[in-house]
Structure 1
């Protein structure tokens, strides 16, 4: 995080793998700490004991940690500031600009190398006194002392290098190496089990960077970012919307890599000098899901792999927790965790809800659907989903009506952690259990396995139906309608993202969808949050409500992001638009990521094995295009629209698969190249082999051989990538 006016220029530092994971788990030894104990205490109305056993004991025993740990702040003093003119270019992840101080004019360039743990900074015409200093977090915040972290150790090596080392008890030691004098500064980072190993890693990285020089490092850095952005693209007529798409991907790509620890709530951009809000945890009632959402349609599946791998690797620990708490087989995933399945305090009504397991499983299912990679499915996807299904199957209870029921859960985050939040058969749980059954069947058929298919079909058939009002509106749970504006549309899970009810499921399903949305709208948006608009943008897109989807983008951009693009959980301008207002500047990254995914959903969709191009674009987007977006079924799709009409579509198959495309060209004559198309009703169908691409275009408004990029660029608003210019 780069900030400050030059007196000093400041850099708040973080590293993905720095966590204090020590936890006091004595709270689990209480005799009532079990699902049976929870049911009994709730049934008997002993809610103060519920709060004590399932929330307060853990919070008291773990007041600060487990938690994410940041590094601290680097500072460079340039003199009394006069003016500041810098910006972050998203296309190259580089800050460029000019700072004017009493000492003169300073050209500034800064970047964190995409493939090296090195921060690079050039500041020209430095004052003679200017030195890069590093203030460790331990000197800014006494929480590390309370966690019994040893004091950081600073070593001066010659007159050039400084080496800061900090150990995390029962965790890694991290080391920062930097040169104090410029104009070119290199700051490298290493983490390992021992200080010696971490120092060796960091010093080697520093010397390699210094030997290469800043220009070569930047060339290498920008080449890597160019390759990333070349993976897919959107060409949109509005600068603000285009920024939202790019920024969400930028945040995720900057903080999520294969083999790395997945980003928590704030990614790699900590608040300066404080411990992270909510411990920087993995919040599974929306935040994790929204964070990794854009990895799929953007075609950057690698951005979701570290999360999917974390879920797979957590299975043994999650199985142990499930056996201990529920006394059953399977994998239950609580709401709030850190790496290594470290459970951290949370509202007990949310922590122990059943929906998190299924909604996290949904991410794994998406990773399968967008790749159709059977090797990945066998090694990661199926093991996770089958374990979640086993948990559901073991804990559903059949009652006298013949249906399977959820005995006790909640509809996050309705009524927060109050007693009235506890319920039976919440619709969010039912939707995810239904879909989990579908995923098991689909995955076993793909793998040629027949271990759980019959059981999954049986559970789905016997599961209690959704609870509806007399007006066919989805309830929170039986006989309980949402009666207030709320930030979490949990009761709409059957519509989206579970998509157990779609607009193509017949009149009854459409009636439920329409009635449920009208009811939700009737309650107003005063208690919606930024993440609500992010989630609802995609919901609107998949049901074809393009203007509502666009309005969600507009509301998010206007009320929920700050001047530097970051999403705050408050309307900081206090416009009266929402009850969540004020100067509480706790940034979280999930909403920016989800908005990016929502924009992709407006451009292309692939659910139910049908590829839909421009399914939810607003009326005023006459000229738009996208390139190489990915859909379910592993299709890479490019398309162009001019003057409100689709002119060109190209689809490349990632696996052997039939393309089913609703005719986007209306009644116009079309031409094709690369494959044979047949028409079945309104569907254009082509049997494609892996790697085979087929192009379709309007014969009257497109010519063979036209360059797609040159036709798409006029739709692109110029200057999209600038951030923080002032």
Structure 2
């Protein structure tokens, strides 16, 4: 079971002997790097190209790849990485033999029972527990009580004689005893000192004390405090725990040499607030957060197993990304227990960060992506400096794998050098604008960032012998891994990124022309003179840009290099998704490219796919209106998750879904699943709203409320017996609304304030557009229906399967989609 608030995380597991809580902190990082892992003046793009052209594979790896591992139990070389947090363990008088627990994702609460005998709440020596991690502050609350045998209360001083079965009185500790040899040797080799125990009184609470451990991070990088207290409240034994770092302190409290003192002061304040209030009082703000979060949008589909996982993934996303906290990394705030995190727990910009935040747009959870923009904007000066040093030009170069503070983690040298990492990240800025029409955000953040990454591509582009702009040397992320075969000209992904960037920049320039504004973190201001000169140059690039490399089997990976073996990355299909440059709604050539590419992909097979490939392909299948394939890929994703819904990338159970047998957990796949499911109900690419177009044919009924569409529209709709029953569209910005006509009969658009007719949609119109007013809601109904008789409220549709919760040890036994 897992809880989180974007900054602090907690995973609960074990049988209660002891009760284990794996703690995590999103900003707890090692940012140093050994000298051999740092780039110098000789590390440049020109030098890398020279080594590639000379075929010096070993030279490339030796110079540009920093070996992150260490064999067996050996310590890792010093490098940026997420750090493990001391694990909290709660021991009781008895050694429990079983646990029955539940995670309530609607309210972010765990609850259950610990047993010494056979499971059952009427057994002697049964302990009930409940807990939550506060959504508004770093405070974990766990409460325990012996049920049915309560004979009094626990005195506020646990040192005095209890008048209740002492089964409930815990011994709490936190340490690194759970770490494996490799992690322990790594921390020792990096000069991490031992944990410092702390203890002190809780102000204002008689006889109450707090305890904790402090980990200093060498190199003047700060430290981390885990502190807890144990007290009786209303017949329950309450454990309050907080995890704090320098990021939780006001800047004025970060005086040299006083970090621990400041962290203890902050911990005392948090624990005091959590020490005496009743459960109802202390959980009030936490529940208010979750109530507001779930009110943003919701769906109901017949496949209640997919629906259940959809809501679980939205819950996990909110646990891992909040305003004011760092963005979600590979494992978020649930790093693996007892080990150094896979892939250093970093930020991968060649797919993972994009998949992580795709669901925020259609699901109308826009605030969750703001930590990403905040981090990237803050790092722009580092990206510009790095671009100047490595590429020798102005612009933004992010590399692929970065730490929280922008340090470069040197993985595959070609993927790290790929200019598309920053460009694909820039697409997230553009999506935010498309879904909000926030021109201030466009001027201050999106436009400057897109312009910066285009500057790098302008440096890379050259004229070919036909006079076309092309990319003479690049690679497609991780295709052929880091081998020399990975290199070539005109990767489809690069050409797609450049074409999208140019089109988006030209559209942005048209929107922003004549409007002055701050240029944002990039240091560029938006003024008419600059826009004019850039526009002329961007149009020239767009007009003369080489076309996507393709053959009779669809898009190639590189020019002259077809998609020749199964691979996890789908970047050669960028023109289809996520950039919709070539669509199924285009001309016959476009349709052929789309269908042949997907056909060839299936022909090559899925043996080298991983878990996150499936929901991405489900979205792609939705976009080409292949509803059967979209549903299949969504269901197949469930083969890549554990019983607790965590994505394991490979096939450790050996059921034949792919050749990878590893099982490192990463979060992006589940989050993309949470984007793929609503895409079956609503799509809006290209500024056109499409309703239920990709809905599986077997779903005769479905309903959704306040899904977000491009153009800043909130859309609600119901499908009944295979036909659209009603649609509501709320316009935030008052721009014209265009909807694809999939109704099959004449419809009437009315404004909801007066039910006055706005327009009538004839049955044979392919598209229809109507004007909107900011803040107004419009209804769309069959012309034969009287609007006064229609219930426009969200409703749940009949489920396909009997049951409510489909994941977890017991529930998985009933899940027909799982092996």
User: TM-score per shorter chain, which class?
Assistant: over 0.9
Q: In the alignment, which residue of structure 1 is the partner of 2:521?
A: none
Bigger mean CA offset, 708-717 vs 666-675: 708-717
Aligned to 1:343, what secondary structure does the other structure show? coil
**Superimposed CA distance per residue, residues 27-51 of structure 1 (whole angstroms, 9 cap, x where no aligned partner):** 5555641111111111111111111
Structure 1 CA distance, aligned partners of 2:801 and 2:732? 31
Q: In the alignment, which residue of structure 1 is the partner of 2:554?
A: 473
Q: Is contact 1:402–1:462 with CA below 8 Å preserved after alignment?
A: yes
Structure 1: runs of 5 or more not aligned: none
Aligned to 1:210, what secondary structure does the other structure show? coil
Q: In the alignment, which residue of structure 1 is the partner of 2:575?
A: 494
Match of 2:29 among 19, 40, 65: 19
Structure 2 CA distance, aligned partners of 1:718 and 1:224? 30
Structure 2 CA distance, aligned partners of 1:89 and 1:566? 16
Going from structure 1 to structure 2, the CA distance change for 1:373 and 1:717 (only over 3 Å counts) comes to farther
Q: In the alignment, which residue of structure 2 is the partner of 1:656?
A: 734
1:133 has 2:173 as partner: yes
1:529 has 2:610 as partner: yes
Structure 1 CA distance, aligned partners of 2:67 and 2:671? 34
Q: Is contact 2:493–2:573 with CA below 8 Å preserved after alignment?
A: yes
Going from structure 1 to structure 2, the CA distance change for 1:627 and 1:567 (only over 3 Å counts) comes to same
Q: In the alignment, which residue of structure 1 is the partner of 2:648?
A: 568
CA shift for structure 1 position 152: 1.7
Structure 2 CA distance, aligned partners of 1:601 and 1:329? 38
Q: In the alignment, which residue of structure 2 is the partner of 1:256?
A: 321
1:36 has 2:46 as partner: yes
Aligned to 1:704, what secondary structure does the other structure show? helix
Structure 1 CA distance, aligned partners of 2:419 and 2:441? 26
CA shift for structure 1 position 393: 1.1
CA shift for structure 1 position 166: 1.7
Structure 1 CA distance, aligned partners of 2:397 and 2:35? 17
Q: In the alignment, which residue of structure 1 is the partner of 2:7?
A: none
Going from structure 1 to structure 2, the CA distance change for 1:135 and 1:6 (only over 3 Å counts) comes to same
Q: Mapping of 1:348-359 within 5 angstroms? A: 348-359=413-424
Q: Is contact 1:188–1:203 with CA below 8 Å preserved after alignment?
A: no
Q: Mapping of 1:179-578 within 5 angstroms? A: 179-180=229-230, 183-192=237-246, 193=254, 194-448=259-513, 449=528, 450-451=531-532, 452-469=534-551, 471=552, 473-557=554-638, 559-578=639-658
Structure 1 CA distance, aligned partners of 2:544 and 2:69? 39
CA shift for structure 1 position 409: 1.4
Structure 2 CA distance, aligned partners of 1:113 and 1:508? 54
CA shift for structure 1 position 249: 1.5
Aligned to 2:550, what secondary structure does the other structure show? coil
Bigger mean CA offset, 31-40 vs 263-272: 31-40
Match of 2:187 among 121, 124, 144: 144
CA shift for structure 1 position 711: 4.0
CA shift for structure 1 position 161: 1.5
Aligned to 2:714, what secondary structure does the other structure show? strand
Aligned to 1:339, what secondary structure does the other structure show? coil
Structure 2 CA distance, aligned partners of 1:110 and 1:279? 30
Bigger mean CA offset, 139-148 vs 619-628: 139-148
Going from structure 1 to structure 2, the CA distance change for 1:669 and 1:295 (only over 3 Å counts) comes to closer
CA shift for structure 1 position 375: 1.2
Aligned to 2:538, what secondary structure does the other structure show? helix
1:111 has 2:132 as partner: yes
Match of 2:788 among 704, 709, 712: 704
Bigger mean CA offset, 33-42 vs 74-83: 74-83
Structure 2 CA distance, aligned partners of 1:92 and 1:127? 28
Q: In the alignment, which residue of structure 2 is the partner of 1:686?
A: 770
CA shift for structure 1 position 579: 0.7
Aligned to 1:530, what secondary structure does the other structure show? coil
**Superimposed CA distance per residue, residues 110-161 of structure 1 (whole angstroms, 9 cap, x where no aligned partner):** 2111111111111112616521221247976412222222222111325631
Structure 2 CA distance, aligned partners of 1:88 and 1:671? 43
Match of 1:163 among 208, 212, 220: 212
Q: Is contact 1:30–1:53 with CA below 8 Å preserved after alignment?
A: no
With a CA cutoff of 8 Å and minimum separation of 6, indicate the structure with the bigger relative contact order. Answer: 1
CA shift for structure 1 position 321: 0.5
Q: Is contact 1:23–1:62 with CA below 8 Å preserved after alignment?
A: no
Q: Is contact 1:475–1:482 with CA below 8 Å preserved after alignment?
A: yes
Going from structure 1 to structure 2, the CA distance change for 1:59 and 1:443 (only over 3 Å counts) comes to farther
CA shift for structure 1 position 62: 7.5
CA shift for structure 1 position 713: 5.0
Aligned to 2:284, what secondary structure does the other structure show? helix
Going from structure 1 to structure 2, the CA distance change for 1:710 and 1:391 (only over 3 Å counts) comes to closer
Going from structure 1 to structure 2, the CA distance change for 1:514 and 1:723 (only over 3 Å counts) comes to closer
For normalisation by structure 2, the TM-score amounts to: 0.85
CA shift for structure 1 position 489: 1.5
Q: Is contact 1:138–1:145 with CA below 8 Å preserved after alignment?
A: no
Structure 1 CA distance, aligned partners of 2:227 and 2:101? 26
Going from structure 1 to structure 2, the CA distance change for 1:139 and 1:553 (only over 3 Å counts) comes to closer
Q: In the alignment, which residue of structure 2 is the partner of 1:75?
A: 89
CA shift for structure 1 position 408: 1.8
Structure 2 CA distance, aligned partners of 1:74 and 1:100? 20
Aligned to 1:97, what secondary structure does the other structure show? strand
Q: Which has the larger radius of gyration?
A: 2
**Superimposed CA distance per residue, residues 34-75 of structure 1 (whole angstroms, 9 cap, x where no aligned partner):** 111111111111111111111147889982421012312111
Match of 1:596 among 671, 674, 678: 674
Residue-pair matches, total: 722
Structure 2 CA distance, aligned partners of 1:165 and 1:716? 51
Structure 1 CA distance, aligned partners of 2:457 and 2:35? 25
1:641 has 2:722 as partner: no
**Superimposed CA distance per residue, residues 202-256 of structure 1 (whole angstroms, 9 cap, x where no aligned partner):** 2111111113333322233122101100000011112221122212221211111
Structure 1 CA distance, aligned partners of 2:169 and 2:707? 51
Q: In the alignment, which residue of structure 1 is the partner of 2:816?
A: none
Aligned to 2:113, what secondary structure does the other structure show? strand
Bigger mean CA offset, 680-689 vs 455-464: 680-689
Structure 1 CA distance, aligned partners of 2:786 and 2:700? 16
Structure 2 CA distance, aligned partners of 1:554 and 1:55? 37
Going from structure 1 to structure 2, the CA distance change for 1:334 and 1:293 (only over 3 Å counts) comes to same
Structure 1 CA distance, aligned partners of 2:304 and 2:178? 41
CA shift for structure 1 position 725: 5.5
For normalisation by structure 1, the TM-score amounts to: 0.95
Aligned to 1:81, what secondary structure does the other structure show? coil
CA shift for structure 1 position 679: 4.4
Structure 1 CA distance, aligned partners of 2:304 and 2:357? 23
**Superimposed CA distance per residue, residues 545-603 of structure 1 (whole angstroms, 9 cap, x where no aligned partner):** 1110100111001x10100011011223211121122xx43210000000110112111
Structure 2: runs of 5 or more not aligned: 1-10, 118-123, 147-165, 202-207, 247-253, 514-527, 811-819
Structure 2 CA distance, aligned partners of 1:501 and 1:70? 45
Structure 2 CA distance, aligned partners of 1:139 and 1:57? 22
**Superimposed CA distance per residue, residues 492-531 of structure 1 (whole angstroms, 9 cap, x where no aligned partner):** 1111112111122211111111111111111111221111
1:177 has 2:187 as partner: no
**Superimposed CA distance per residue, residues 355-406 of structure 1 (whole angstroms, 9 cap, x where no aligned partner):** 2122111111111111110111122111111111111112211222211121
Aligned to 2:130, what secondary structure does the other structure show? strand
